[in-house]
Chains A and B, each alone.
Chain A
């Protein structure tokens, strides 16, 4: 049973556009929702994270929107640049669990110049 579903699998956006990546979760015990960015040959790097008591969080050009009732959250990248081309993973975790994060399958994002 896939507990975190991520879409789309791949996405191509022109420079300056706003790519949006969506995730949906099933387990209502989840209370921590991070996004990771991964460049080829590197480990995933924590980008931004949100907790379910807020509906939006911004860090620089990256914004997470969170809809608790729909059990969905999304990543928006403002003024996207070719350097943002990477694979993005959403994930979910809960503070009562010691077993780390449950990840979505990833979105391969390409920002065209």
Chain B
């Protein structure tokens, strides 16, 4: 049981490039979320999903897209990377609503130059 996995661990992009951060979970959780973590800012919700085919925006969604075609996978797409998107990105999943028993992946450190 791997839990929540994320790839890649590190990524450097140039301004304007696009990329997809991968997230997968093997716990059959319906709820999945993407957060970004910046120094002194805590974790801020980007997008979330309540099941396959259903996604919605969180607190800071601009510049990011998500989709959820399966229960297991929840990729995050950066459409046109900007230096303001330099951050550490965490994917999380939970069995229940409201963030109950929410488990996080190891994170992806992204630098945009």
Residues of A within 8 A of B (CB): 6, 9, 31-32, 34, 36, 41-46, 49, 89, 91, 93-106
Q: A99-B48, A99-B56 are in contact. Are A89 and B43 (CB under 8 A)?
A: yes
Q: How far is the CA of A93 from the CA of B42 in the complex (A)?
A: 15
In the complex, whether B90 has a CB less than 8 A from a CB of chain A is: yes
Instruction: Label chain B's interface by main secondary structure.
Output: strand
- In this complex, how many residues of chain B approach chain A with their Cβ under 8 Å: the count is 29
Judge whether A46 and B98 touch: CB under 8 Å. Answer: no
Q: How far is the CA of A43 from the CA of B99 in the complex (A)?
A: 16
Q: Report the stretch among B12-20, B67-75, B76-84, B100-108 that lies at the interface.
A: B100-108
Shortest Cβ gap from B91 to chain A (Å)? 9
Judge whether B90 and A44 touch: CB under 8 Å. Answer: yes
- Smallest Cβ-Cβ distance to A33: which chain B residue: B99
In the complex, whether B94 has a CB less than 8 A from a CB of chain A is: yes
Q: How far is the CA of A99 from the CA of B54 in the complex (A)?
A: 12
- Smallest Cβ-Cβ distance to A98: which chain B residue: B50
Judge whether B104 and A45 touch: CB under 8 Å. Answer: yes
Collect the chain A residues with CB atoms within 8 Å of residue B4's CB: 43
Collect the chain A residues with CB atoms within 8 Å of residue B21's CB: none
Q: For residues 4 through 45 of chain B, which have their beta carbon under 8 Å from a beta carbon of chain A?
A: 4, 31, 33, 35, 40-45
**8 pairs from A and B in contact (CB 8 Å cutoff):** A42-B106, A43-B4, A46-B102, A96-B97, A99-B48, A100-B48, A101-B45, A103-B44
Shortest Cβ gap from B113 to chain A (Å)? 21
